[in-house]
Amino acid sequence: MEWLAEYAPPSYAALKPGASDDEIAALEEALGVSVPQELKALWRLSAGEDGVAGSGLMLGNWALIPLDAVIEVYRMQMRFQEENGEDEDALVLWKPSWIPFCSFNPDDTVYGLYLNGETGEVCKWTRFGEREREYESLPAYLELMAVSLEAPLAGSGPQKPGMRGGALVWGPPLDGEHKDQWVRHLGQAPPRHPAKTLGAIREALPGDERAGFDGQRDALDLSDPEAVAVFRDYWWERAVQAQEELEDDVAAALGGNIMVQPGRKLAPEYEATLPPAIRHLPPSMDDIRAALRHESVRARFDREFMDAIPPHYPALLLRWWDLARLMADPRGDRAVRAVVNDRHASG
């Protein structure tokens, strides 16, 4: 979920809220069978999606179908099985333990994926009666999807994550028009600015502004879409401004023109994530390097240290000590990486 909010906001916005235990129990009652725990866990995260431009976000461009569509597809397939006959020679089109959870797209359920409740396998159904095993289990399917997103160069299989119009689309697409619009995701650093979700906006705000954000959010009439949009847009612009100000500070510090404020006060939840050696006093070069969380940032530190002369070491270590502390805060982490990866544009 966090990956989608950060990298593919349109796909994140297309997700439906997670299902409650009562909603899942009602589905089980409608189907007349128990749903495996791993599928319940998935539905608690999201009970379906609307899709973006007719494409689903699950690995293989499958769409996570809403619970009411799960019931509809299940009943339709069971009806096909009854019409086909139940004797030993009859073609098996569906079994009571087969639970559909993905379809070709949100509006087309003649193809899809189902979870075999007896074997735990994820299988594909088609309108032509084909039933093929696709994955060993639902956790294996979701794990492959997660690895493909978070480490795309390490992921295996023909389906690669990419973007089209800001939405997650697995590809490469076969048709020429969509292929030209599709850009493969190669694990780039997160976007410079926060996603337009209330949680991401709040996280990107300076700590002393979050109380004001919380107060306005709590007083907001969530049933008024216009008021919600005005609130979100105002605070998103403020978060972007704060991010750019932070990047200016980081760029200046990395350029050696000014010192970041040594001993920057961090929120307790971020302070607790720091290695003990760098919580309070300027530590050694090894302590600082170990605390820098990304290879690109460590490489920048190593390069500056190699280029420095001994009289400059204390100032250099103070500057990088504060940058290491800054990266404990997601807002600062994003700013440091934006500058190091040359995505900062001053002025």
Residue 187 CA to residue 175 CA, distance in Å, equals 24
Mean pLDDT for the stretch of residues 228-243: 90
Q: Does a structural domain hold residue 157?
A: no
- Is the confidence at residue 345, as pLDDT, over 50? no
Q: Does a structural domain hold residue 165?
A: no
CB 125 within 8 A of CB 102: no
Q: pLDDT value at position 35?
A: 96
Q: Residue 292 — pLDDT band, cuts 50, 70, 90? A: confident
Q: Which of 8-12, 52-56, 80-84, 159-163 has the lowest mean pLDDT?
A: 52-56
Q: Are residues 130 and 204 in the same domain?
A: no
Q: Which structure tokens are listed for 324?
A: 């290491």
Mean pLDDT for the stretch of residues 125-146: 91
Q: Does a structural domain hold residue 11?
A: yes
Q: Does a structural domain hold residue 123?
A: yes
CB 339 within 8 A of CB 247: yes
Q: Are residues 120 and 228 in the same domain?
A: no
Q: Which helix (H) or strand (E) holds 113?
A: strand 108-116
Domain end residue (candidates: 122, 143, 164): 143
Q: Does a structural domain hold residue 333?
A: yes
Q: Are residues 252 and 119 in the same domain?
A: no
Domain end residue (candidates: 108, 125, 143): 143
Range of the domain at 119: 2-143
Q: Does a structural domain hold residue 149?
A: no
Q: Are residues 123 and 205 in the same domain?
A: no
Q: pLDDT value at position 346?
A: 42
Residue 208 CA to residue 242 CA, distance in Å, equals 12
Q: Which structure tokens are listed for 80?
A: 């096909």
- Is the confidence at residue 10, as pLDDT, over 50? yes
Residue 147 CA to residue 259 CA, distance in Å, equals 39
Q: Does a structural domain hold residue 268?
A: yes
- Is the confidence at residue 259, as pLDDT, over 70? no
Q: Are residues 336 and 210 in the same domain?
A: yes
Q: Are residues 206 and 282 in the same domain?
A: yes
CATH number at residue 100: 3.40.1580.10
CB 336 within 8 A of CB 323: yes
More confident of the two residues 309 and 38: 38
Q: Are residues 135 and 213 in the same domain?
A: no
Judged by DSSP in three states, 179 sits in helix
Q: pLDDT value at position 202?
A: 87
More confident of the two residues 114 and 17: 114
Mean pLDDT for the stretch of residues 201-217: 88
Q: pLDDT value at position 117?
A: 94
- Is the confidence at residue 120, as pLDDT, over 50? yes
Residue 227 CA to residue 246 CA, distance in Å, equals 29
Q: Which structure tokens are listed for 85?
A: 């006959």
CB 182 within 8 A of CB 162: yes
DSSP 65-108: --HHHHHHHHHHHHHHHHHH--STTS-----TTEEEEEEEETTE
Q: Are residues 236 and 322 in the same domain?
A: yes
Q: Are residues 270 and 335 in the same domain?
A: yes
Q: Which structure tokens are listed for 86?
A: 């139940």
More confident of the two residues 175 and 50: 50
pTM over 0.75: no
Q: Are residues 211 and 82 in the same domain?
A: no
Domain end residue (candidates: 128, 143, 158): 143
Number of domains making up the chain: 2
Q: Are residues 95 and 203 in the same domain?
A: no
Q: Does a structural domain hold residue 163?
A: no
Q: Are residues 137 and 238 in the same domain?
A: no
